[in-house]
Structure 1
Amino acid sequence: MIVWEVDMKAGNSRILLSKVLQAGALAIALIAFPLASVPVRAGLHVLVARNDIGGRIDRRAELLDHLRARGDRVEIRGHYCLSACTMYLGAEDVCIEPDNVYGFHCPSFWGLALNDASFDYWSRVVASYYPDGLRQWYMQVARHRVNGHYRVSGRELIGLGSQQCSD
């Protein structure tokens, strides 16, 4: 199994990937790559998102489509998963930790308001990656949050049906 660990912190435009091969206990050192270069293969990868502040919706959607197509697992760990990171909740095989905080807000262009058509389009793109109940709430409530985030705990999401990660 190969595990890619994604650790994004505020002010860091690159991610840290840890590639661990458990067949034969071979481990490869930590390497920094841009988010768009995360490679995945069917059934061999686990993407661990840790302290992810989000980013571009289109790039996250592309990555998620890739993960879904290959059936890879996503584990959302750490303390927070904000903005576009929350789209991972729609992965085919995803687990979360109860103490994580998830932050939801309106789509924007790096904090700038979108015109009505773009706002509606990008809201629908984001929502399309959420499970049904979360999708409805996002479209009715969270997509209208301009400043800050609506914060939802992993514990609340687990109560609504999300899978809890095992240690």
Structure 2
Amino acid sequence: MKRDLSQAPERPRFALRRAGLLFSILMLCAISFSAAPIAPAHAQSVVRVSNDGGGSLPARLNELRQLRNSGQRVEIRRGYCNSACTLYLGLENTCVSPNARFGFHGPQIATRGLRMLPDDFEKWSRTMAEHYPSQLKGWFLQTARHSEKLITVRGAQLIQMGVPRCG
């Protein structure tokens, strides 16, 4: 069915002006709010880590990049933090409790029994070490990276190596 648009009622002009004025006000509000320096809501939150077994290095590195950009504080107060989890220790806003446990080992291929090629082992060992404070980095490169089994360290030992203690 065809509709004859010439018969459609005209919109009153004041309605169009009011809509234009409302649009202008909304745009001004949007511009003023977007220009205001507002910190992200999550920037003040705390990430509490416990009983983290580690996981994929590339995935953890991506998470660390996001945490570093957000400025979120990371607290490792209880339980364990193993393998890739220990990379949190290199973030500026990370602290540990003396009783938390940390497990270190060298980089490994996800498939058990397969050995990593020497160049890959060196690359991933160095990548991991770059995420540790200086003293811990040295210990990791000399000792822990050569272990296939977890070497467990208490938070108290990490605090002695320069990792900040949670207050």
Q: Normalising to structure 2: TM-score of the pair?
A: 0.70
The residue aligned with 1:164 is 165
1:161 Cα offset (Å): 2.3
Q: Which segments of 5 or more consecutive residues in structure 2 lack a partner in the other structure?
A: 1-39
The residue aligned with 2:73 is 73
Would you tell me which structure has more helix in proportion to its own residues? 2
Where do 1:79-118 residues align within 5 Å?
Answer: 79-110=79-110, 111=112, 112-118=114-120
Aligned length: 126
Where do 1:1-167 residues align within 5 Å?
Answer: 43-110=43-110, 111=112, 112-146=114-148, 148-166=149-167
Any conservation in 2 of the 1:41–1:72 contact (CA below 8 Å)?
no
How far apart, CA to CA, are the structure 1 residues paired with 2:41 and 2:62?
Answer: 15
| Helix, strand or coil at the partner of 2:102 | strand
Point out the structure with max Rg over C-alpha.
Answer: 2
The change in CA–CA distance for 1:41 and 1:127 in structure 2 (over 3 A counts) is farther
Would you tell me which structure has more strand in proportion to its own residues? 1
Cα deviations by residue, 1:32-73 (Å, 9 ceiling, x for unpaired): xxxxxxxx8662332111111000011111111111122111
Q: Normalising to structure 1: TM-score of the pair?
A: 0.70
* CA RMSD, Structure 1 to Structure 2 (Å): 1.6
Runs of 4+ deviating beyond 4 Å:
none
| Helix, strand or coil at the partner of 1:98 | coil
Any conservation in 2 of the 1:41–1:70 contact (CA below 8 Å)?
no
How far apart, CA to CA, are the structure 2 residues paired with 1:159 and 1:138?
Answer: 15
